[in-house]
Structure formats: C-alpha cells, structure tokens
Amino acid sequence: MNNNIDHTDPAKDMNSERGNGGETHQRAGDDTKVLTTQQGVPISDNQNSLKAGSRGPTLLEDFVLREKINHFDHERIPERIVHARGSAAHGYFELTESLEEYTTAKILTETGKQTPLFTRFSTVAGNKGSKDTPRDVRGFSVKVYTEEGNWDIVGNNMPIFFIQDAIKFPDLIHAVKPEPDRGFPQAASAHDTFWDFVSLSPETMHNLIWLMSDRGLPRSLRMMEGFGIHSYRLIDKDGRSTFVRFHWKPVLGVQSTTWDEAVKISGADPDYHRRDLFESIDNEMYPEWEFGVQLFTEEEADNFPFDHLDATKLIPEELVPVKIIGKMVLNRNVDNFFAETEQVAFCPSHVVPGIDYSNDPLLQGRLFSYLDTQLSRLGSPNFAQIPINAPKCPFANNQQDGHMQMQVPKTRVMYEPQSLDPTRPRESVKRGFASFQERLDDGVKGRIRAESFADHYSQPRMFYRSQTATGQAHIASAYAFELGKVDTAHVRTRTLSHLRHIDEDLANRVATALGMELPEPADAAAPVQDLETSKAVQTIGITPKSLEGRLVGILVAEGSSHSEVEKFEKAARAAGANVKIVAPNKEVTLDNGTRIQTDERLAGAPSVIFDAIVSIIMHPPAKKLAKDSAALDWFNDAYAHCKAIAYCPATEEHILSKLPIEKDAFVTPLDDVDGFIENAKTRLWEREPKVRDLA
C-alpha cells in the first residue's frame, strides 16, 4: 500500500492574491514564465476584461479578450468520419529477424535497431466522445518513423473486413452510424439500418461473426491482436515480389470482457480503455506486441481455397504460419492529446521502398480515401509538417505554399528538372520507391467482382466451429441481442437465412432466442466448404492463464486488517497485476491506525473494472454495506462475470449469504491467498450458465 495521505495543500505555498471579484488566484512574479498573447505581449490581468468603469460595458479595444475568445471559438476540428474515438502512445519498433531475402526495406532488414513509432487504437462507429467499450471493431494504426520515410500499417483488431470493394464503404458506414433522422443509436450496431445493409450484403458475414464474438469486446487495448488485413507485397533487390500479411500479437495475450460487463463498464468508466493504456504506461508496465508476417508466393496463393485479394478472407495461421520477426513496445504517453492523438494522420499509402500493394480492391480504394479525408480534417495539404506526422528522416521536395506553410525554402528553384540550384533535391533511381512491375493479362475494363470472391460463408463457418462452447454461446447471444434491437421483421428473417449457411446450430440458437421460425437458407453464390478449424481465431480458448497486466480490486473499510490488505496486494503484484484499493469512503483508517487514501470510492468503482476482487472488511461496515446496492452489485457482478472472489468472515455473514452466490472453486476465503491468485488468472466459465440465460 502506498496510499498514505499527504494533506499538504500546494496552494498555500503560492503567492495568492485577492482579485476584484473576491476570488483567489495567483499572480506571477517577475521570475516566473509570463503569460503572453500570441504576439508575445505580456499579459498583466487574465481574470478581468477591459471595461468602461467597474460596472460598465466591455470595450472592443480589449485585444487580450478578443484574441483569447477568438482562438477558443476555433478550437475544434472535424472529427474522423470513422475511428473518431481513439487513444494513442509513443514507442518503438525493433526487428529481431531480417527479411533480407524478401525485401529491401531497411525497417525489415536491419535488426536490433529501435525505430520510433506512434500507435493509435480506436473504435469505429462512435463519435469522439463516445464510450470505449461498445461492441465494435477496433482500429490498430501504427506509424513507424523509419529512416526511409514514414511507414503506416493502418489495421484493425480483426483479420478481415466487412466488404470486398471500396465503393461500398460509405454505405456500410452510413448504415452503422446513428440513423440520420433520429440521431441514434450512438456507437452501436444493434439497429435496423446496420442489419438491413449487412443482411443484403452477404460478403459482410465473416466480419460480422467476428464482431458478434468476444473479439468485439476487448478487455484492454493492450490485449488485442492487430492485423494489416490486406495482402501487401515485399519487393527484393531484384524486383521480385512476395505477398505478405502483417500481424501484431500482444505479449499479454488476447482477452475480452463479457457483453454484460462491457455494458456496465461503459457507465462506470467510459474511458476504460484509454485510462488503462495511460495508467499502464504511467506505471511502466509497457504494452508490447510481437510483429509477425505471413509470407506466400503467387503460386501458393493460387492454391488457397479462397482469393487472398479478397479482404473478407483471412489466411489461416495453420495454412501459412505467422513468422515473428520483431516487436513493438509502447513506452511513452502523449504529451498533448490534441496535438498528437487527434492530429495524427495515418495513410495506407505511406509505404517505404521494398513494400508495395496488392490489387485488393478495398486496399486500392483506401489509398485514395485517407489523404482526401485528412485534407478536410486537418485543413491543409501541409498537415505532414505537424510534428506528429512529420518524418524523422530528412525530407525535401518542391511542394510549396498552401495554408499553414511552416517551411521557408531559401531558393529560386521549386521545380525539377532544374539546373540552377545544386542544393535542391533530385529523384534517385537507386534509393527511390519503385512499384512492382506487375504483368496484367486480364484486359477487360468493367465494374467486375471476381468470381473467386463469391464464397461468403465458408470462413464464417470455420470461425464459428473453431470456438469453444462458451465462445459459441457468446456469439449466438450477441446475434440474439443485436437482432432483438431490430424492429423490422424481414431484416431479422433475412439474417437468419444467412446464418443457416454458416451453421445450423447457430441459426437455431438465434432463432429460438428471438422466438422466430427458421426461414429457408439464402441463395449462396458459391458452395459452402467445410474448412479446417483454427485455434488461432478463438478468444477464450487462447487467453493465457495469467494476472500479468490485469487489475485486482481490494475492498476495505474502517478498521480493515492492514496485514491482510498488504498480503493480497503483494501477492497480486508479484503475479504481475496492478491493484486498486476501494472503500465506501475516500479515506479510511486501517486496524493498525494507518490512515490511507483509497484509489476509488465503492460507488465509483464497480467490480466490472477489475479482473478479480478481494473483500477485507469488519462486521460493522459489512452490516452497513449489506444495505448498499453498490456493494451488493460489487459481489453479484464479479460472480456473474465468472471472476475470482476472496472473502472475509464479515463479508460472508452479512453480504454473500444474502446473494445468489454459490461457493464454487473461485469463491474462496481470505486464508487461501495462493488459491485466489491462481483463480484470478482466469475465469470460471462453467459458472456462466448458472448466472445467465445464454442463447
């Protein structure tokens, strides 16, 4: 426990003065950094505007007031049309194994060097101020400031996307965003327009089932996989190409919350993921990912039972293993949210020599979209000069002028070729980016969808059949929940007609939960295949048994045992967890007389924000808490979310005995610290059917 209280008031040491209105504020002395206008003019009074007389009108002359209000009025920029809600951090990339055989890109061939990067995670559908824990895909964007220019891997936490062709993107997003007439629901796919669109676009079925799975509810941004999704190309020194898909694998493993938990977290802490990322970096528990590649040739791709240019298809790791060749560590929080997290501009078109694109029609459309949207969002083609976007290697070209130009080129020559200024930049065949010389045989021009893109159900089937029983129940329940919010009957029916192709059991469970009849299966454009299942696409099945990077909540109250608290805190920290002390009040005195400041008040820290809970309270407070719904929910929810609970005698007598909590293997008395720590590393999923009616 490091929560001993220091009541020193920092303000009392400062040079306080009473202003005219009677408020207390500090005035800078001559030796302090002085507040100025944007023109550098020192400001003497930042509390009162210039008036004619003490009670008279404010004067237009007041340039200090006008400049301040004017700047304030223009503080907002348009938020991202998608991925508006995001959290980011600085870190580095380090290559551990060279891909020299496949590419000339220095970032993928020079091992052992730390290259700075900036990573932003996001939800897709919600506005900038929306909650962190909706059921949604998460963005996973990495900007690596390589010495050959910036390389952005703009990916998601799922290995596939909803649509196959960029032309459908505005429709997909309009369908999922709040409905335009009513302006709701915010950050939610559970509404008619989304399911109307997806049920009419069977290509969405694969990403949909990932979204309905636990992958749509990450426990932490630190516990998500990242995927570049599309096939890219690596180009070697002889101009030969190998296809590649990029992967980020979290060292803490993949972990998710349950739906009920995610819903409650969004009320308890809408910034749950942002806070978690910030606090773990602040506590020097630096999130880390392994960087991996799936490499394959054109000939190998021709034998896949799907088309790798189709972004709705993943390449099973069992078919092409992910080769781990590097790592990413996030070790520095942003200094300023707006300057960095908001203004960062990721573009799939930012690649470096040795990395190139495939013909994936979704990727091709993205190559246009990002620069275009950033022009309107950041307001000028000079956004690349903003520090977070600027390369950290030398850069020079003949682009000039425009809004907010920060550079002052000292030359007559802003064109090329030229013969007047030898200091000006020139193209370099040797070092410059060169596109892969692809032979194109297909001479037909048209709005064509390749026949090899027609199979929309085989991989969703593979995904469903790969899950654990709990994972499958969560998926069926998620469909039932979402379709339960859809009022248009034919949209629900049409969705069920697709589910029949994915898996009859899934279709039946969802139909039963909705109280609906199963319709005929939808028309399938291609025969559905029974592919090999893949463990790599599970969530619960691959969540590591570990407390590393997780959070334990310890409930205390007046008179709680100092030594018990210390014992549990020590054990949890030794297992790699962080610990928060919770109490009915902000300050409490423990049995040894130490007065501590708690991390959270019980009313503001429901158990959903913890991975496991401990209760160490004496009889009088326990008796009182037995009448407090926040306290009862604390235990009930931890139990309902299959978490480990360690309880003291007073908790057992006054609280647990009144709740529908069975003393199963994960509900243990205080004397079994080791048992609690072991349980806290995982969840007791077998408990779930007792507490929830899953589909």
358 phi, psi to nearest 5 deg: -95, 180
Judge contact between 86 and 121, C-beta under 8 A.
yes
* 7 given a catalytic annotation: no
Residue 278, CA distances (Å) to 87, 268, 273, 334, 355 in order? 9, 17, 8, 9, 32
- Tell me how long the chain is: 695
The residue among 139 and 460 lying less far from ligand HDE, judged by its C-beta, is 139
Burial of 178 per CB tally in 10 Å (0-12, 13-18, 19+) = middle
As given in the structure block, the two tokens for residue 65 are 């007031």
Nearer to ligand HDE among residue 154 and residue 281 (C-beta): 154
Spot the catalytic one: 83, 90, 206, 654: 83
Task: CB nearer to ligand HDE: give 153 or 462.
Answer: 153
Nearest to 357 by CA among 476, 233, 519: 233
Let me know if 230 is a catalytic residue: no
Shortest gap between Cβ of 168 and ligand HDE (angstroms)? 8
Please report which residue ranges of 291-383 form alpha helices under DSSP H: 298-302, 361-378
Among the listed residues 90, 150, 156, 501, the single catalytic one is: 156
Residue 615's contacts (CB-CB under 8 Å, 6 or more residues apart) are 554, 555, 635, 645, 646, 647, 648, 651, 655
CB-nearer residue toward ligand HDE: 340 or 455: 340
Backbone angles phi and psi of 637, in degrees to 5: -70, -45
Residue 185: cis peptide before it, omega within 30 degrees of 0: yes
Min dist. Cβ of residue 312 to ligand HDE (A): 10
Q: Quickly list DSSP for 74-125.
A: T---PPPSSS-SEEEEEEEEEESS--TTT---GGGT-TT-EEEEEEEEEESS
Residue (384 or 605) nearer to ligand HDE, CB? 384
Query: Closest distance between ligand HDE and the C-beta of residue 143, in Å?
Result: 9
Neighbouring CB atoms inside 10 A of 375's CB total: 13
In the three-class reduction of DSSP (H, G, I as helix; E, B as strand; rest coil), residue 570 is classed as: helix
Q: What whole-number distance in Å separates Cα of residue 170 and Cα of residue 444? A: 26
CB of 365 to ligand HDE, least distance (A): 4
Burial 112-145 (b: 16+ CB within 10 A, else e): eeebebbbbbbbbbbeeebbbbbbbbbbbbbbbb
Considering the complex, state which of residue 330 and residue 506 has its C-beta at the smaller distance from ligand HDE. Answer: 330
Nearest approach in angstroms of CB 139 to ligand HDE is 3
**What's the min distance (Å) between Cβ of 117 and ligand HDE?**
13
On whether the CB atoms of residues 262 and 218 are closer than 8 A, the answer is no
In sequence order, the 6+-apart residues with CB closer than 8 A to the CB of 422 are: none
Specify the residue, 122 or 133, whose C-beta has the smaller distance to ligand HDE: 122
Task: Give residue for tokens 């972004």.
Answer: 311
Least distance in angstroms from the C-beta of 341 to ligand HDE: 8
Q: Kindly state the smallest distance separating residue 122's Cβ from ligand HDE, in Å.
A: 5
**Amino acid of residue 382:** N
Nearest-10 Cα torsion for 446, 447, 452, 457: -170
Q: How far apart are CA 419 and CA 411, in angstroms?
A: 12
By beta-carbon proximity to ligand HDE, the closer residue of 59 and 375 is 375
Query: By Cβ distance, which residue is nearest to ligand HDE?
Result: 139
Spatial separation of the C-alpha atoms in residues 114 and 270, rounded to whole Å: 34
Judging by beta carbons within 10 Å of its beta carbon (0-12, 13-18, 19+), is residue 195 exposed, middle or buried? Answer: buried
Assess contact for 239 and 371: CB atoms under 8 A. Answer: no
Encoding tokens for residue 657?
């005995």
Whose Cβ is closer to ligand HDE: residue 143's or residue 264's? 143
For the bound state, the minimum distance from the C-beta of residue 80 to ligand HDE, rounded and expressed in Å, comes to 4
Q: How far is the CB of 667 from ligand HDE (least distance, A)?
A: 40
| Residue whose CB is less far from ligand HDE, 131 or 366 | 366
Question: What tokens appear for 328 in the block?
Answer: 């990413």
What is the C-alpha end-to-end distance of the chain, expressed in Å? 43
Q: Smallest distance from the beta carbon of 91 to ligand HDE, in angstroms?
A: 15
Nearer to ligand HDE, 156 or 538 (CB): 156
**Rule CB under 6 A: which residues touch ligand HDE?**
80-83, 86, 120, 122, 139, 141, 154-156, 161, 166, 169, 229, 311, 345-346, 362, 365-366, 369-370, 373-374
Q: How many CB atoms lie within 10 A of CB 423?
A: 8
> Which positions are catalytic?
83, 156
